[in-house]
Amino acid sequence: MKERIEKITEELKTLQCKTEKEVEEARVRLLGKKGEITALFDEFRTIAPELKREFGQKLNVLKKDALAKIEELKASASSGPAAGGASDDVTMPGEPHQLGSRHPVSIAREQIVNIFRKFGYDVAEGPEIEDDYHVFEALNFPPNHPARDMQDTFFVSNGHLNPLLLRTHTSSVQVRTMEKNQLPIRVICPGRVFRNEAISARAHCIFHQVEGLYIDENVTFADLKQAILLFAREMFGPDTQIRMRPSYFPFTEPSAEVDVSCNICHGKGCNICKGTGWLEILGCGMVDPNVLEASGIDSKKYNGFAFGMGVERIAMLKWQVNDLRHYFENDMRFLREFSTCVDV
Ligand code: PHE
């Protein structure tokens, strides 16, 4: 009897059933009217009285274990994949998990940021709702100066000396960085900016910029040109050329606008570059001494350069997107085209 109890105990440990039918068969085989455990109980009645105590306990434990095992097998067979029912057909095609991908503007911004990080620039961020002082005044736009019209502004509050507004460029973050007075400064400021413009293929009232600022002793225009050239080659390819045209910004003097050689026709002239062979990518210049002084930096000791670019514009040129509005409409056909792009 002892051996048979042990044998069934062992068997219970490894017993497996795939279907509910198999579980029922196992139950009948062990605990049914003619089952193995039931038979042991019958036999128990006939054994010597001095053995009853020991075997009685053993049999009770065995029966309890067997019942528990059958319950456990029943539960897993009814929820398991072979339980039957259409949804459990393992040969059916799986439900695809649609993985999202990064937005092209995010990809371009990351690429720009990563290039300047490699050059040793830190990243700084600041508020989108700014005051007039940080967006204009500290950047050498005197009150009522016509240059303020270069960037039509959304005002959040007016009637004050220093009204709140939606920042029109991230140069405001450069001001906030200069105010901390930890020199030298080498920083880029990515962020969203707002201008009161009619929406068209080439303009939007919300877009993204990456602006850069480098302040140290003895910084020259040649340093600026070299930084922009290296950036352009990392972004648009090693053969890229740049050219600088004189321009005007209140906060830089001298100022320039930078073009890159057209990466589509390689300078021959096409409809993207309108036959010129050049594409405008950013504005830049040597920081005006007034700007340094406004933030408490000694302009006799320090100087530097600044630059600023539109992320959507860089992305349009890099991937030949002909309408800015595509970036805001979230048409899946457009967004999917960028699903394999990676950061540099
Ligand atoms: N802040 C300028 C703009 O938004 C870009 C710029 C930055 C130009 C720094 C020169 C220097 O258009």
Backbone angles phi and psi of 260, in degrees to 5:
-110, 155
Give the atom of ligand 1 at the shortest distance from the alpha carbon of 305: 11
pLDDT at 80: 54
User: pLDDT at residue 343 above 60?
Assistant: no
For atom 10 of ligand 1, the residue with the nearest CA is: 284
Within 10 A of 85 (CB to CB), how many other CB atoms are there? 7
C-alpha of residue 283 to centroid of ligand 1, in Å: 5
∠ CA 266-269-272, nearest 5°, is 90
pLDDT at 53: 85
For atom 2 of ligand 1, the residue with the nearest CA is: 308
Backbone angles phi and psi of 171, in degrees to 5:
-60, -25
Mean pLDDT of the chain: 90
User: Could you give the CA distance from residue 225 to residue 230 in angstroms, rounded to a whole number?
Assistant: 9
Task: Determine the distance from the C-alpha atom of residue 330 to the mean position of all C-alpha atoms in its chain, rounded to a whole number.
Answer: 16
Backbone angles phi and psi of 256, in degrees to 5:
-145, 155
Mean predicted confidence (pLDDT) in 285-314: 97
Task: Give 196-242 pLDDT, tens digit per residue.
Answer: 999 988 889 999 999 999 999 999 999 999 999 999 999 999 999 99
Task: Give 102-145 pLDDT, tens digit per residue.
Answer: 999 999 999 999 999 999 999 999 999 999 999 999 999 988 88
C-alpha of residue 1 to centroid of ligand 1, in Å: 94
From 152, 174, 195, 249, mutation site for ligand 1 pocket: most ligand atoms within 8 A of C-beta: 249
C-alpha of residue 320 to centroid of ligand 1, in Å: 23
Task: Give 68-103 pLDDT, tens digit per residue.
Answer: 888 888 888 776 555 455 567 788 888 888 778 899
For residue 159, what pLDDT band results from cuts at 50, 70 and 90?
low
Mean predicted confidence (pLDDT) in 191-197: 95
User: Could you give the CA distance from residue 324 to residue 306 in angstroms, rounded to a whole number?
Assistant: 25
Residue showing tokens 């600088």: 244
Mean predicted confidence (pLDDT) in 16-26: 86
C-alpha of residue 305 to centroid of ligand 1, in Å: 11
Give the atom of ligand 1 at the shortest distance from the alpha carbon of 284: 10
Return the axis-axis angle of helices 221-236 and 104-118, rounded to nearest 10°.
130
Q: How far is CA 244 from CA 259, 303, 308, in A?
A: 6, 20, 14
pLDDT at 342: 63
Give the atom of ligand 1 at the shortest distance from the alpha carbon of 150: 12
> Largest Cα–Cα distance of the chain, in whole Å?
115
Residues with CB under 6 A from ligand 1: 169, 171, 211, 249, 252, 255, 283-285, 306-308
Output the pTM of the full model. 0.72
Mean predicted confidence (pLDDT) in 295-308: 97
Give the atom of ligand 1 at the shortest distance from the alpha carbon of 212: 9
Mean predicted confidence (pLDDT) in 58-65: 88
C-alpha of residue 284 to centroid of ligand 1, in Å: 6
For atom 9 of ligand 1, the residue with the nearest CA is: 307
Residues with Cβ within 8 Å of residue 59, at least 6 apart in sequence: 5, 37, 40, 41, 44
Give the atom of ligand 1 at the shortest distance from the alpha carbon of 171: 1
Task: Give 254-285 pLDDT, tens digit per residue.
Answer: 999 999 998 878 878 887 788 899 999 999 99
From 208, 224, 251, 286, mutation site for ligand 1 pocket: most ligand atoms within 8 A of C-beta: 251
